[in-house]
Chains A and B, each alone.
Chain A
Amino acid sequence: MCLGTPGQIVAIHDAAKKLGVVEIAGVRRVTNLACVVDEIPLDACVGEWVLVHVGFAMSRIDPEEARRTLSLLAELGDSAPADDGGLP
């Protein structure tokens, strides 16, 4: 349940209504920030990453915790393979 997508706040759309513009992989949408402004004040939230669900930012993504989870999983290998055109 509850599809959520990480996106970055790139602009404030309407400060009074706590609306911001969130960008997810080059796709932008006006997003309600009411649930995250407790944690990140509106005037400081541009650049922050949040989890977006049905047009609402539901939580700030903590980059430090994300890094810690990944390092727990051991360092990542070089995950970008050379472009071999997918040939078998």
Chain B
Amino acid sequence: MTADKSSLFSRIESYRRRAGRVRGSVIETAHGGGGRAMRDLLDDVIVGVFVREFGSRELSDHEDQARFELTALSARGDRLAVTTDSYVVTPLEFPGGDIGSLAVNGTVNDLAVGGARPLYLTCSLVIEEGLEIAVLRRIVRSMARAAKHAGVAIVTGDTKVVARGAADRLFINTTGIGVIPRGVEVASNRVAPDDVLLVNGYLGDHGAAILVARGELQLETDIPSDCAALSPLVELLLSELDVHAMRDVTRGGLAAVLNELALASEVGIVVNAKALPVRHEVAGFCEILGLDPVHLANEGKLVVAVPKAQATRALELMRSHPLGQHAVAIATCRRDPPGLVTLDTGFGGERILDMLVGEPLPRIC
């Protein structure tokens, strides 16, 4: 090889090995094709953000799988917890969050409410061609930020690009792995007839924020989504209390979670309508559209069931944490009627609180 040829070779080689940079302003099918364009996208927008910007050490772009030291895991507890969730939301970005922070916090919360300490997430993106790369970059940054905040590492992932119309801009799937510490026994069927149920704050913020952000209702208000990782709050509660059951309150709202708990534990739950924490604006939003805050989605709320004797302490602990400032005891349990959730309306009457059939639809009558 002549000197000339060798310098050309090394020039090309170093070019081949450079950190890729994505070209153009929108995602095209080539970005999912497995070739150079995909490499560039991953290098620039995914690995570039997670590893270079946020210093993640766990994400490898050389291997097809993430690898864990079992001893490190078993030092933290005696059971693994695994959960998976796919995130589809319109719009992708909304006040208080975006699909990225949602995909991290939602999965973190699903682990946390099982008593697990969330450790690792996977991240799978399904991108519709035409998505602006700037939007994708913002969302990946938001994921990285949320993961860092929640103390979890994104360890592996996948990126697919689908033709226009085959997805709605961006879908994200995250799978989470956590470890449940020895002795922690949180389960939906452990609610006891004299338990008290508490919620950590305002109900319905996320559902209202999304419906307003879609713009179709032409309503203007400042309701941010409550999207947040609940793991620090959960850890605080578990450090002191005998938490019988814990659920994050998401789609279907409080009504769905309470009904699931009542059925799983075969207890009656009596909700105190007057105690339900609802932001002024969300209450107004619901009055206008004929919706009920107990049916609206949340992304940073949980319900805990604790023995009556621990309810006061549970409330104190919750309120001492930024994620539980507006915590309230919302319901008591009883033996009969099993599986039924009723609501003390606060007006003197009592009625059944069931889950909705489908999504809450605004009504006029």
On A, residues with C-beta under 8 Å from B are 1-3, 5, 24-30, 52-55, 81, 85-88
Contact = CB atoms under 8 A, between A and B. Distances in A.
| Interface SS majority for chain A | loop
Contacts of A86: 272, 274-275, 328-330
Contacts of B315: 85, 87
B365 interface: yes
Given A25-B280, A30-B218, A52-B288, 5 more contacts: A3-B363, A24-B284, A24-B288, A25-B281, A88-B329
Interface string B308-342: 10011001000100000001111010000000000
Q: Which 3 residue pairs of A and B lie closest in terms of their CB atoms, listed nearest first?
A: A25-B284, A86-B275, A1-B365
Contact of A88 (B280, B290, B311, B364): B311
A87 B290 contact: no
Given A30-B218, A53-B364, A87 B284 contact: no
Contact of B283 (A25, A30, A52, A55): A25
Contacts of B327: 85
Contact of A87 (B222, B287, B329, B365): B329
Interface of B: 196, 217-222, 272, 274-275, 280-281, 283-285, 287-288, 290, 308, 311-312, 315, 319, 327-330, 332, 363-365
Contact of A3 (B275, B311, B329, B364): B364
Contacts of A54: 364
A85 B328 CA distance: 5
| Interface SS majority for chain B | mixed
A88 B274 CA distance: 12
28 contacts: A2-B364, A24-B284, A24-B288, A25-B285, A26-B221, A26-B281, A27-B219, A27-B285, A27-B288, A28-B219, A28-B220, A29-B220, A29-B288, A30-B218, A85-B275, A85-B319, A85-B327, A85-B328, A86-B272, A86-B275, A86-B329, A87-B196, A87-B312, A88-B196, A88-B308, A88-B311, A88-B329, A88-B332
Nearest to B199: A86
A3 B362 CA distance: 11
Contacts of A29: 217-220, 288
B341 to A, nearest CB: 16
Contact of A24 (B196, B272, B287, B319): B287
A13 to B, nearest CB: 11
A24 B221 CA distance: 10
A5 B289 CA distance: 9
A54 B219 CA distance: 12
Contacts of B330: 86
A88 B194 CA distance: 11
Given A29-B220, A53-B364, A5 B288 contact: yes
Given A86-B272, A88-B332, A27 B365 contact: no
Nearest to B196: A88
Contacts of B363: 3
